[in-house]
A and B are shown apart, each in its own frame.
Chain A
Amino acid sequence: MKCSEFLQELTNYLDGALDDRTKSELEDHLAWCHNCYVVCDTTKKTIEIYRDSELYELPDDLRTRLRSAIMSKCQQRKKTQESL
C-alpha cells in the first residue's frame, strides 16, 4: 500500500468503517511507515481535541432567554392558527 492510498482511506479507518481485510492492510502499512502513523495519530487527536473542547457552549442565562423567546413566538403562532 502506498502512502497516498493510506491517506485516501484515513477517514474510513478512523471512523471504523472498513472491512477487516482493508483494515489489516492499513495497519500493516502503519506498522512500518512512521510518517503515516504520525499523520493518523495527530488526525485522531485533532478530532478528539475539537470534540472535547466545549467551544461555543450555550451559557445558561442566554439559553433561558432564547428558549423563552422561542416559546413565546410559538404560542403566538398557535393562537394565530387557532383564530383562523
Chain B
Amino acid sequence: MSAIQPRVGEPVSDELALVQAAKKGDVSAFEELVKRYDRNVFRIAQHITQNREDAEDVVQDAFLKAYSNLEQFQGQSKFYTWLVRIAVNEALMKLRRRRPERTVSLDEDVKTEEDSVPREIADWSPNPEQLYKQAELKDILTRTIQGLPPSFRTVFVLRDVEGLSTEETAEALGLSIPAVKSRLLRARLQLRERLSRYFKKRESGDGQK
C-alpha cells in the first residue's frame, strides 16, 4: 500500500518578496497574498467553526490581523503557516463564543468512547463516493467530521485536507509534534470508523442505496 500523496501547493518562492513589499506599504502585494490563501483560510475556518457566517468573519479578521501585524512576521516560517495560526485562533474564539458552556481548547487531549480501537472492520465498496449523490456525500462527510472534538478536527484539516506537514501543523497550532501525531491518528481512525457505516461493502453486490 502506498503512502498518501499530499496536495501540491502553489510555489511560494515569491512569497517573501510579496510580504516585504506589503510591509513597505504596497497594498496590492498584500492583495496577492489574500488571493493566494483566502480559499484555504475559509475552508479551515468553516471546518473549525462549522458556521458559514463565522467563517466569513474569520477570513476578514485573520487577513486584517495579519496585515496589521506584518512587522511581527520575521520570515522564519512560511507566511501561510503564520497566517493559519492567526486564522485558527480567530476561529477558536468564534467557537468559544458560540459554545461558552464547553471548553474549546487545542490542548484538550480528549478520550472519547470510540477512541482508537477499530471496531468496524469491513472492506469498503471499491468506489465509496459513488454510492451516494454528491450532495448526500457532502452531507455525510460534514456530519461525520462535525462529530470530532475541535482539537482533533483542526489537526485533521490542517494535515490531511490542507496538506501542511506535521512540523507546520505543530507550529501553526502551538502543539508538540508527538501531540499532533497522536491527535491525527485518533482523528483519522474515528473518521474511518464512522464513515465505515456508510461505505462498507453491502452483502448483495455493491448495494446502491
Chain A contacts to B: CB under 8 angstroms = 7-8, 10-17, 27, 30, 35, 37-51, 53, 55-58, 62-63, 66-67, 69-71, 73-75, 77-78, 82
Contacts and interface: CB of A to CB of B under 8 A. Distances in A.
B181 interface: yes
B3 A45 contact: no
B60 A35 contact: no
Contacts, number: 135
Contacts of B189: 7, 10, 39, 43
A interface: dominant SS: helix
Given A38-B121, A50-B191, A74-B67, A11 B128 contact: no
B interface: dominant SS: helix
30 contacts: A7-B189, A10-B189, A11-B181, A11-B184, A11-B188, A39-B118, A39-B121, A39-B189, A40-B1, A41-B124, A42-B123, A42-B196, A43-B189, A47-B188, A50-B191, A51-B7, A51-B160, A51-B161, A53-B137, A55-B43, A55-B47, A55-B138, A55-B142, A56-B43, A58-B42, A58-B43, A63-B38, A66-B42, A73-B64, A77-B67
